[in-house]
Structure 1
Amino acid sequence: RAAAAGTPGAVARVLERTAAARLREAGPPDGRTAAVAAALARGRPVAEVALSVALSERQLHRLSLDAFGYGPKTLARVLRLVRALDLARAEVPWAEVAARAGYADQAHLAREVKSLAGAPMGALLTSG
């Protein structure tokens, strides 16, 4: 049982519960928070996102920490990973997943997945 606690599926469930709890604590999102998440999900640079919501980069960082638990650059990495996982679950070839999700190549995708999730892409997809 202790080994199962460290599986990618178990880790993902803990992260999901933690994110849901943070959302409940934060209350309803304001328009800026939603705009930030949407812009970063589209791959917009942090400086551009800050400008688009009339915040300095420092203020955007604080807003992001309060709303999501980490800064905007990390949020952008997480959102890109989510995009990649969605594509991979749709059975898109991994090289195409990398290109469509905004990674330089498949090796970059593999490094980012391992860095953010602590497990390779295949393990995340099978732990579902």
Structure 2
Amino acid sequence: MSVERLPTASGYAERPSRLTGAVVWTNTPAASGVRPVLPDGCMDLLWTEGRLLVAGPDTRAYVPDGAPGRWAGVRFFPGTAPALLGVPAHELVDRRVELTDLWAAPEVRRLTAHIDSAADPADALEEVALGRAAESEPVDPLLREVVAALDAGRPVSAVADELGLGARQLHRRSLAAFGYGPKTLARVLRLQRALALARSGMPFVDTAARAGYADQAHLARDVRELAGAPLGELLARG
């Protein structure tokens, strides 16, 4: 998935996680260069010195506070984090919350101390995610099919029919898994497709057509609404 959820662009690195559908990342924010986190449908388990947090799914650009210190995170493929965290995704939309709001405070304090003292906090955080996943119900494979179909540009009504779901049932399951309905998820995934195409050097008019927008004006409106800035400005940030 996208790497748009990093606290800043400086000092960022990521690797595939041993947990299916996740990546592990690290970052050391600089005093300058903080950039907004753009919607991508993902959720993150975050560590920074002395704290464990959760980043919920975004519907708009999120501007980090640029707090100094080391950061590590496990970023989960859309729909996979709620079972692990034990909370429906819609309760965390556009929010960053302390893990103590979701899990027992004594357990979170123990985990935080363990990660703080680890030689590699990112590896220790990944172990937390792996352990929690082992104790959780498996993720419904249907959710990955929903993401794949919407990311391919399939209409929501067609996705519901192909998966044997009514429109209301798909919407309800999407709220719990992704934080928002399938139409919003489709917009977020389309935004990420457009960013990837534009960053590859594709002209904006072709980017609009390939990503699934009606025209370049539609692309411009949607990017500004979701990302809070014009596409050209986003590309200039790197």
Name the structure 2 match of 1:24: 81
* Residues 16 and 10 of structure 1, relative CA distance in 2, 3 Å threshold: farther
C-alpha distance in 1 between matches for 2:34 and 2:156:
29
- Structure with max Cα Rg: 2
AA in 2 matched with 1:26:
A
CA-based RMSD? 2.4
- Alignment gaps of 5+ in structure 1: 1-6
Name the structure 2 match of 1:41: 151
Q: Number of residue pairs matched?
A: 121
C-alpha distance in 2 between matches for 1:98 and 1:8:
27
Larger RCO: Structure 1 or Structure 2 (Cα < 8 Å, ≥ 6 residues apart)? Answer: 1
AA in 2 matched with 1:24:
A
- Decide which structure has greater helix share: 1
AA in 1 matched with 2:174:
S
C-alpha distance in 1 between matches for 2:43 and 2:237:
14
Deviation at 1:113, TM superposition (A): 0.4
CA contact (8 A) 2:151 2:190 kept: yes
- Decide which structure has greater strand share: 2
1:87 aligns with 2:144: no
- Alignment gaps of 5+ in structure 2: 1-32, 45-54, 58-74, 85-137
Name the structure 2 match of 1:103: 213
Name the stretch that deviates more: 118-127 or 78-87.
118-127
- TM-score normalised to structure 1 length: 0.81
Secondary structure at the residue paired with 1:70?
Answer: coil
C-alpha distance in 2 between matches for 1:112 and 1:8:
23
Deviation at 1:8, TM superposition (A): 8.2
> Runs of 4+ in structure 1 displaced over 3 angstroms?
19-25
- TM-score normalised to structure 2 length: 0.46
- Over the matched positions of the two proteins, sequence identity in percent amounts to 56
Instruction: Give CA deviations for 1:74-103 in whole Å, capped at 9, x if unaligned.
Output: 111111111110000100111110111111
